[in-house]
Structure 1
């Protein structure tokens, strides 16, 4: 595991996690005999991409895609050349199509981050082929601290599935837009994710806050 680049983290580097918890997690990752995903340089990509004050929307994922070549440090996003689409992302695109009439052509969602959407997984690493394999390393402390840092002003939260909803239980539903639905995975998408229209609802809310909506389709 590469040394932590605090300068790339910007304001996030002040979170206690990076002093108190990261050294132990880094040691565990260094001793992990299996391939760790995403690559070390991309583990904190979502935070490096978007500073706290620039975050308007938070989408919480569970952990990275466990298939080598898919994960690149952004929840639900995948490298541009990944085909077929990861199944959860395919369902997200189906809901986008139903909600606003069109969906992206690429699995790479970094253009959402460019517009203020924090694509954060609750667990930032995974052993190749073993979903949730790093769920007990302590990454959730970072998630909690990130959400606390973002409690300074209203934001929109898309919380898909029980893990995300538990992680964001303390987010104030009065101050913020809090959309909670089942996860978009094939196992649960038809239990309430499909038909929830999260993307248009977020844009309606942002516009009521005097902010531009997210261009969900085009970079």
Structure 2
């Protein structure tokens, strides 16, 4: 007997999973009830702007097909500053100035590693089209309260996403920056890993700068018979950083 379709919470409120890629919707089906619970508990009655990112962007990282992912970059949780997060780890809305320090350090290492010019803004979504999945472990945060939704249940969702990628197999490379991300290494099994200190200002000079994550990822992809990532981002003469 076929499973009954999930009922919509209201006529004008779509389920979060309705807008993800079909293969991600299938892969995340085992945690669909968890997603619905978190939507109801964290988002349904939240005042506008009190939970970040905007509801439409909470599962943005799953809009591109699971089948297309070849690099997984693991973040912690969204930036807690209103107007900054966009549903992709480390990335910010194009208007954000100045860049968060972690992202500014990523841009510096990107330039030093593979020679990418300074981008016009901090929007990393161009990498998604290259098969780079920028996935936070926790997908929402209360505005102004970093880490406030950890252990609310999002980890079950992103653990399932990582499990689905491992089940799918390569080509795949995981990028683990910092101690929190490093705890995922056992779950990745034989997936090649690029690991270093976190790009935050507290730790970037203790192993992130000079770690060459972008060129190392491409070497590991080529070794698996895949095309390397074009890490370039839209740039302009008036780039502000």
Partner of 1:13: 25
Q: Distance in 1 between matches of 2:78 and 2:70?
A: 22
Partner of 1:206: 221
- Which of 34, 39, 52 is equivalent to 1:26? 39
1:212, distance to aligned residue in structure 2 (A): 1.6
CA distance change for structure 1 residues 161 and 17 in 2, over 3 Å: closer, same or farther? farther
Q: Distance in 2 between matches of 1:17 and 1:162?
A: 28
Matches within 5 A, 1:128-143: 128-143=143-158
Structure 1 residues without counterparts, runs of 5 or longer: none
Q: Distance in 1 between matches of 2:185 and 2:85?
A: 23
- Are 2:137 and 2:155, in contact at CA under 8 Å, matched by a contact in 1? yes
Q: Distance in 2 between matches of 1:63 and 1:51?
A: 22
- Are 2:31 and 2:160, in contact at CA under 8 Å, matched by a contact in 1? no
Secondary structure in 2 aligned to 1:99?
Answer: helix
Partner of 2:87: 73
Partner of 1:153: 169
Runs of 4+ in 1 over 6 A off after TM superposition: none
Q: Distance in 1 between matches of 2:204 and 2:30?
A: 33
Secondary structure in 2 aligned to 1:78?
Answer: coil
1:32, distance to aligned residue in structure 2 (A): 4.4
Deviations 1:78-135 (A, max 9, x none): 1111110111000101111221123441211110000100010000001111000111
1:190, distance to aligned residue in structure 2 (A): 1.2
- Which of 57, 63, 67 is equivalent to 2:77? 63
Secondary structure in 2 aligned to 1:169?
Answer: helix
Matches within 5 A, 1:174-213: 175-213=190-228
Q: Distance in 1 between matches of 2:117 and 2:211?
A: 16
- Are 1:122 and 1:140, in contact at CA under 8 Å, matched by a contact in 2? yes
Q: Distance in 2 between matches of 1:217 and 1:86?
A: 19
Alpha carbon RMSD of aligned pairs, Å? Answer: 1.8
- Are 1:104 and 1:216, in contact at CA under 8 Å, matched by a contact in 2? no
Structure 2 residues without counterparts, runs of 5 or longer: 1-8, 235-241
Partner of 1:101: 115
Q: Distance in 2 between matches of 1:187 and 1:128?
A: 22
Q: Distance in 1 between matches of 2:67 and 2:165?
A: 8
